[in-house]
Amino acid sequence: MIASERGIRMRIVKTARRLVALGLSPATSGNLSARSKGGYLITPSGAAYESLGPDDIVFMGDDWTHSGGQKPPSSEWRLHRDIYRTRAEAGGVVHVHSTAATALACLRRSIPPFHYEVAFAGGRDIRCSEYATFGTQELSAAAAKALEGRRACLLANHGAITFAETVEDAALLAERVENLARLYLTTLPVSEPVLLDDAEMARVVAKFRAYGKPQA
């Protein structure tokens, strides 16, 4: 059951402030959203999260048009829209410009299976998309390709995007991606890290499907 719209707005605001506190969304960068009855709710364009209130969150309706809120929606609303359209399991989407993930994106390097927690994103690696201008349908298409079979990807010369069942879990995954990016960058001046093989990553992906869930 989808929660009340007011409740979702408050959860988005709380999560946005957490991203700022963690340093994952410097200045007014990044955006986040949650699926809502009849569409989705997304942070407004150019908003400072510290002063964001529930009434500032923008509702995007079934026709995917701006339909409420104090400001225009984030310029990346197409990224969010297309994830909700194509990934039924997505209940929340988070896009960040966190330092390490963005540094790798600027190098156009995917995060390989150097650590088993890469599997939190749903597969053996966290891909980097092809480059496209921000706020465009081309960027959304590039992200969709990089997200095939995944819940997270890097956006070339841009940042990272994640999705999950809730906006809170999408933010947690963004935090995990940033930590993995930082670890990976730490290994590179020493040597290319030893990578886990496909069989091991498949085992970990399977184990993570039950991670944090009640056991029978």
For residues 201 and 157, give the distance between their C-alpha atoms in angstroms, rounded to a whole number.
27
Find tokens 């390989």 and name the residue.
Answer: 112
Farthest CA pair distance, the chain: 51
50 an active-site residue?
no
Residues facing 92 on adjacent strands:
34, 164
For residues 167 and 104, give the distance between their C-alpha atoms in angstroms, rounded to a whole number.
24
The backbone torsions φ and ψ at residue 133, rounded to the nearest 5 degrees and listed phi first, read: -60, 140
Q: What is the DSSP letter of 32?
A: E
Residues facing 186 on adjacent strands:
none
Half-sphere exposure of 191 (CA within 13 A, CB side): 3
Contact 183, 112 (CB under 8 A): no
Catalytic residue among 5, 50, 76, 130: 76
Output the CA–CA distances (angstroms, integers) from residue 96 to 12, 63, 105, 194, 200, in the order listed: 14, 26, 12, 28, 29
Q: Which residues are catalytic?
A: 76
